[in-house]
Chain A
Amino acid sequence: NAGVTQTPKFQVLKTGQSMTLQCAQDMNHNSMYWYRQDPGMGLRLIYYSASEGTTDKGEVPNGYNVSRLNKREFSLRLESAAPSQTSVYFCASSVGLAESYEQYFGPGTRLTVT
């Protein structure tokens, strides 16, 4: 079991470029999440997907889009990157929303926007 995998591990973008962060889980979980982690601010929820075919905004969705491609995969897209989006991005999954207290996290993607 790989758990939650994320690609890439590191990425440098120029302002205005676009990219997609990939996430996959092999635990047959229904719910998936995208967070960003900034120093001193903990993790902030960007978007989540309660189940395949649904997505909802979290705390900080502006500038991002998501796709729940299937039960396993949940991608995060930056259409026009800005320096304020420099952060570490984590994908997570849980059995379901009711079990969202126990989330399993991927190793993260460190994104720098210059």
Chain B
Amino acid sequence: GNSVTQMEGPVTLSEEAFLTINCTYTATGYPSLFWYVQYPGEGLQLLLKATKADDKGSNKGFEATYRKETTSFHLEKGSVQVSDSAVYFCALKKAAGNKLTFGGGTRVLVKP
């Protein structure tokens, strides 16, 4: 079946540090890949997406590239802010499917 694996957190960083959150997936065919973010006390919201191999999704300074050869979709941000403290979820959706499969989430804490 489909599955998404993320690095376990929490990840603690200082402001302006570089952030990487690893995400790998298992799925047949060519799924679409997503990153969702959950800020404290809120529901999840879509951060970025990529629908085919080598696509790069980007939003709010975050980027992730769909790597078919390594089945990965790592999230990166060059300079984090305190306001980026949140839980980040990697997810996939199969081309013929209509449901999202989520990873376990990675908590990120950015300290001033």
Interface residues of A (CB under 8 A from B): 4, 40-45, 48, 50, 58, 90, 92, 97-98, 100-108
Contact = CB atoms under 8 A, between A and B. Distances in A.
Contacts of B105: 40, 42
Interface residues of B, number: 20
Interface stretch (B65-73, B78-86, B95-103): B95-103
A101 B43 contact: no
Nearest to B102: A42
Interface in B48-107: 49, 89, 93, 98-100, 102-105
5 contacts: A40-B105, A98-B98, A100-B100, A101-B49, A107-B42
A98 B99 CA distance: 9
A41 B104 CA distance: 4
Interface of B: 4, 8, 32, 34, 41-46, 49, 89, 93, 98-100, 102-105
B43 A90 contact: yes
B49 A43 contact: no
Given A100-B98, A101-B46, A104-B45, 6 more contacts: A43-B89, A44-B102, A90-B43, A92-B43, A101-B49, A107-B42
A106 B41 CA distance: 10
Given A40-B8, A97-B98, A98-B98, A103 B46 contact: yes
Given A97-B98, A101-B49, A101-B93, A42 B103 contact: yes
Contact of B4 (A4, A42, A50, A106): A42
Contacts of B93: 100-101
Nearest to B89: A42
Contacts of A101: 32, 34, 46, 49, 93, 100
A5 B103 CA distance: 24
Contacts of A102: 46, 49
Given A45-B99, A48-B99, A97-B98, A105 B44 contact: yes
A105 B43 contact: yes
